[in-house]
């Protein structure tokens, strides 16, 4: 809680996400976007969004919905940071990553893989890398999650989610407004 120039994470994206649609309406960006793993990017010019907004109200609402999803996730992160200890924060973010990867078909039955390092996780959990390392050891010891160089194995999903106070509601995964419908 000292160093001025430490990086901090406010959210993350999985393949398929519309990245930083926010800057379309905000006009200016209040954060940076870093790539951790390899990425494939499609760009959407702002003029195209503006046109879609005008011509297809249903799609406009869908775009709006997608940014509100980001806000809902931000709120959950705020809860996480205000209420949970480091091991629980990490368990919580693991639960979120796993669910979100599954939603785009990239999860496994026993966990997931990620390009994130322990330092990256630390940045997203408001802890030092060292403390994060010890928290990970704790999760491992308790049989909740096993992180090893980007491979995360989770024996019992319910156990981990209960431990971390995670409920997937805020991901709005059931939505009839799901983005995936539009292809």
Partner DNA sequence: CGTGCTCTTGAATAACTTCAAGGGCTGTGG
Partner DNA sequence: CCACAGCCCTTGAAGTTATTCAAGAGCACG
**CB-based contact 119:130 (threshold 8 Å):** no
**In the window 2-61, what residues touch its own copies (CB under 8 A)?**
6, 8-11, 22, 25-28, 30-31, 53-54, 57, 60-61
Is position 87 an interface residue for DNA (rule: CB under 7 A)?
Answer: yes
Residue 136 binds which entry of DNA, its own copies, none, CB below 5-8 Å type-dependent: DNA
Q: Which residues bind its own copies (CB under 8 A)?
A: 1, 6, 8-11, 22, 25-28, 30-31, 53-54, 57, 60-61, 64-65, 67-72, 74-79, 81-85, 123, 125-126, 169-170, 172, 175, 177
Q: Which residues bind DNA (CB under 7 A)?
A: 1-3, 85-87, 117-119, 126-131, 133-137, 148-150
């Amino acid at each position: 809680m000292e160093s001025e120039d430490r990086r901090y994470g406010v959210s993350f994206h999985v393949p398929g996400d519309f990245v930083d649609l926010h800057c379309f309406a905000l006009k200016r960006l209040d954060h940076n976007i870093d790539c951790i793993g390899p990425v494939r990017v499609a760009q959407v010019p702002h003029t195209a969004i503006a046109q879609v907004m005008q011509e297809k109200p249903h799609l406009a609402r869908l775009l709006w919905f997608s940014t509100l999803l980001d806000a809902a996730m931000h709120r959950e992160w705020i809860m996480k940071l205000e209420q949970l200890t480091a091991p629980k924060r990490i368990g919580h973010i693991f639960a979120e990553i796993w669910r979100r990867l599954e939603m785009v078909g990239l999860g496994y039955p026993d966990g997931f893989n990620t390009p994130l390092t322990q330092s990256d996780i630390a940045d997203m959990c408001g802890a030092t890398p060292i403390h994060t390392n010890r928290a990970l050891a704790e999760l491992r010891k308790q049989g909740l999650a096993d992180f090893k160089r980007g491979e995360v194995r989770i024996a019992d999903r319910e156990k981990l989610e209960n431990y971390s106070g995670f409920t997937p509601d805020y991901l709005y995964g059931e939505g009839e407004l799901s983005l995936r419908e539009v292809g």
